[in-house]
Homo-oligomer: A and B are copies of this chain.
Amino acid sequence: MATPSSFGQATCDRVQKKLENLIDKYMSQLGASKLSLSSISSQALWRRTDRFQGYGKQLFRFTDRKDISYILAPTHEEEITKLVAKTVQSYKNLPLRVYQIGRKYRDEIRPRHGLLRSREFVMKDLYTFDYSLPLALKAYEEARAAYSRLFDELKLPYLVAEASSGDIGGDISHEYHLPSSIGEDNVISCTDCSYVANEELAAARPIPLQDQSSTENNNAKGDNIQAQVWRGISKDRKTLVNVWYPASFADADINTHALKSVLPGLDSGLEDALPLWHSTLNSSTFSIGDQRLPLLNIIDYRLGQHFANSLKTEPGQFPMLPQQTPVELSQLDAQYITSLTSGEPFNTIRIHDGDYCPHCTSGKLKVQKAIELGHTFHLGTKYSDPLGAHVQIPSAMIEEGLAIVTNSVGNLTVAMQMGCHGIGVSRIIGAVADHLADERGLNWPRAIAPFEVVVIPSTDMDEDARTVSHSLTEASGTFAPIDLALDDRTASFAWKMKDADLVGYPVIVVLGRGWTSDRLCEVQCRQLGLTESIPLDHLQEHINKLLSRL
């Protein structure tokens, strides 16, 4: 019987295969067909959807021997839409759901934690095509439900967060997160209600000013809170941004996502904005006499209206410009923002544990580091429109909430409504490994364990172990065959036990003293902290019960 090789990689391959089979199962429930697109995509195609520039240096680029320009695809919306545009012409061929499991490429600035963020990674990407918005939204909900069932089967304590759509685009999106200390994302959830959002979208309900004293002990309350300034700059280097916020916080607390809601062009990746602004001031293309550069002041609501008024009327009292700036305030176009476009008071500070939930009146917010395992997007016609993925449709059906109707050669056509739904396959393996490991080794959930059970015989019990293994790998009654490895390698018993802990099989069956004396198998389960002696007759039932909890 095959056992995992000591080389280790074979185990990992089984885990990945099991995860892929699990994904196949849930994709099949959605009626999705599996396909496999090239990892090579054309730059010209990506320019048609305006994504080539947006992805920037994240794209690995190259040319072939004929000097045609390509990229290594980080995602496949363009390619699948082009393919579907070519092959599907009528609304009768919809709905269409296709997915693949394959490698993606992203030239990450900071690859880290092995499988969690690498430049080459394995993803499952599902694409849905419908001819009406209501059908597309139904497809979105079906995909979300399948994701929940999948992550349930992985027995992970995942969070589903409202998310922003970022580079992928579209209107609605959700992220599936596994809370983890090594995570790179911050997920905000409410202690009382079901509110969960990723940090980019999450909002805290402003704390009424009269309550400030309780949270800001070291300052006078309300308008007398001491202010300090954080400075940023727009990507076009024209706008200097002053963010005025309470001195009890630090620069690292500034919520750049919130700033972007009023200044989408903010460059949030900078250590120090000032050298860039100074070089703008010195550049010949911006003669200050001709056009006044903007100076944007964003004022945190905690500082109060009085502070905001003073900033406008007595700017000399405040460090409105950085030291050694070669311009006067009067040479700039100073602007002042105190509230969000929604009219809510401007909260410039990241959400902290204990902030007020925006959805319920009682709850407090909790910030958790998390690993993003999956992401769902309703895309609408963002790709189908520029890439011409249209279907013909009878005029009688036009009222059903269709997005775009055009008339080509006398036929009514409509751009397909798309969705895309990703799962990080290699990342799940890394995240689950990290999440369930203890000091003795890995600890796989049953769904993706390399084997569900390992049988380890003491010296000279190989023959008996084969009998025991055989009884478990046959289907009997209501029990499905167990996916089992018999460790019949020549290594010592102690080494095998240690290796089994390292590999992290959900259940270990030991044939030891109990077997010799009373024909009892020792069944160990590290995840549940159980060790029991079970007679062979009850072994299959016992293990099936254990596995159903793992």
- A binding-site residues for B, Cβ under 8 Å: 2, 5, 7, 9-10, 12-13, 16, 28, 31, 33-36, 38-40, 57, 60-62, 64-65, 70, 72, 87, 96, 98, 103, 105, 107, 109, 119-120, 475
Partner of A9, one of B33, B103, B109: B33
B57 and A35 contact, CB distance less than 8 A? no
Give chain B residues whose Cβ lies under 8 Å from the Cβ of A5.
31, 33
A120 and B40 contact, CB distance less than 8 A? yes
- Measured in the bound complex, the distance between the Cα atoms of B107 and A70 in whole Å is 12
A65 and B33 contact, CB distance less than 8 A? no
Give how many copies assemble into the complex: 2
**Chain B residue with the shortest CB-CB distance to A5:** B33
B57 and A60 contact, CB distance less than 8 A? no
A39 and B36 contact, CB distance less than 8 A? no
B35 and A13 contact, CB distance less than 8 A? yes
- Measured in the bound complex, the distance between the Cα atoms of B16 and A475 in whole Å is 28
A62 and B65 contact, CB distance less than 8 A? no
A109 and B13 contact, CB distance less than 8 A? no
- Measured in the bound complex, the distance between the Cα atoms of B57 and A36 in whole Å is 26
A107 and B65 contact, CB distance less than 8 A? yes
Give chain B residues whose Cβ lies under 8 Å from the Cβ of A7.
33, 35, 87, 96, 98
A65 and B57 contact, CB distance less than 8 A? yes
10 nearest A-B residue pairs (beta carbon)? A62-B62, A9-B35, A10-B33, A5-B33, A13-B34, A7-B33, A57-B65, A65-B107, A64-B107, A38-B120
- Measured in the bound complex, the distance between the Cα atoms of B41 and A120 in whole Å is 12
- 14 A–B contact pairs at CB < 8 A? A5-B31, A5-B33, A7-B33, A7-B35, A7-B87, A7-B98, A12-B35, A13-B35, A39-B103, A39-B120, A40-B120, A57-B65, A60-B64, A61-B62
B62 and A60 contact, CB distance less than 8 A? yes
**Chain B residue with the shortest CB-CB distance to A56:** B65
- A62-B62, A98-B7, A98-B9 known; A119-B35 Cβ under 8 A: no
* Majority secondary structure, A binding face: mixed
- A82 smallest CB distance to B (angstroms): 15
Give chain B residues whose Cβ lies under 8 Å from the Cβ of A33.
5, 7, 9-10, 13
**Chain B residue with the shortest CB-CB distance to A20:** B17
Give chain B residues whose Cβ lies under 8 Å from the Cβ of A34.
9-10, 13
**8 further interface pairs, Cβ-Cβ under 8 Å (given A12-B35, A13-B33, A13-B36):** A7-B98, A9-B98, A13-B35, A38-B120, A39-B39, A57-B65, A60-B64, A62-B62
A28 and B9 contact, CB distance less than 8 A? no
- A28-B2, A57-B65, A65-B57 known; A10-B39 Cβ under 8 A: no
- Measured in the bound complex, the distance between the Cα atoms of B109 and A70 in whole Å is 16
- Measured in the bound complex, the distance between the Cα atoms of B65 and A34 in whole Å is 33
- A537 smallest CB distance to B (angstroms): 23
- Measured in the bound complex, the distance between the Cα atoms of B27 and A2 in whole Å is 11
Give chain B residues whose Cβ lies under 8 Å from the Cβ of A40.
105, 119-120
**Chain B residue with the shortest CB-CB distance to A83:** B9
- A352 smallest CB distance to B (angstroms): 34
Interface centre among A7, A36, A65 (most CB of B within 10 A): A7
- A277 smallest CB distance to B (angstroms): 25
- Measured in the bound complex, the distance between the Cα atoms of B28 and A2 in whole Å is 8
- Measured in the bound complex, the distance between the Cα atoms of B36 and A9 in whole Å is 8
- A103 smallest CB distance to B (angstroms): 7
Partner of A35, one of B10, B70, B87: B10
- Measured in the bound complex, the distance between the Cα atoms of B107 and A109 in whole Å is 28
- A538 smallest CB distance to B (angstroms): 24
- Measured in the bound complex, the distance between the Cα atoms of B57 and A64 in whole Å is 8
Give chain B residues whose Cβ lies under 8 Å from the Cβ of A65.
57, 107, 109
Give chain B residues whose Cβ lies under 8 Å from the Cβ of A119.
40, 64
- Measured in the bound complex, the distance between the Cα atoms of B9 and A33 in whole Å is 7
- A154 smallest CB distance to B (angstroms): 21
- A168 smallest CB distance to B (angstroms): 21
Give chain B residues whose Cβ lies under 8 Å from the Cβ of A105.
40
Give chain B residues whose Cβ lies under 8 Å from the Cβ of A120.
38-40
Give chain B residues whose Cβ lies under 8 Å from the Cβ of A70.
60
Give chain B residues whose Cβ lies under 8 Å from the Cβ of A60.
62, 64, 70
Give chain B residues whose Cβ lies under 8 Å from the Cβ of A61.
62
- Measured in the bound complex, the distance between the Cα atoms of B19 and A279 in whole Å is 61
Give chain B residues whose Cβ lies under 8 Å from the Cβ of A31.
5
Give chain B residues whose Cβ lies under 8 Å from the Cβ of A9.
33-36, 98
- Measured in the bound complex, the distance between the Cα atoms of B12 and A98 in whole Å is 13
- A372 smallest CB distance to B (angstroms): 22
Interface centre among A10, A33, A35, A64 (most CB of B within 10 A): A33
Interface centre among A34, A35, A39, A87 (most CB of B within 10 A): A34
- A418 smallest CB distance to B (angstroms): 16
Give chain B residues whose Cβ lies under 8 Å from the Cβ of A38.
120
- Measured in the bound complex, the distance between the Cα atoms of B72 and A33 in whole Å is 28
Give chain B residues whose Cβ lies under 8 Å from the Cβ of A98.
7, 9
- A34 smallest CB distance to B (angstroms): 4
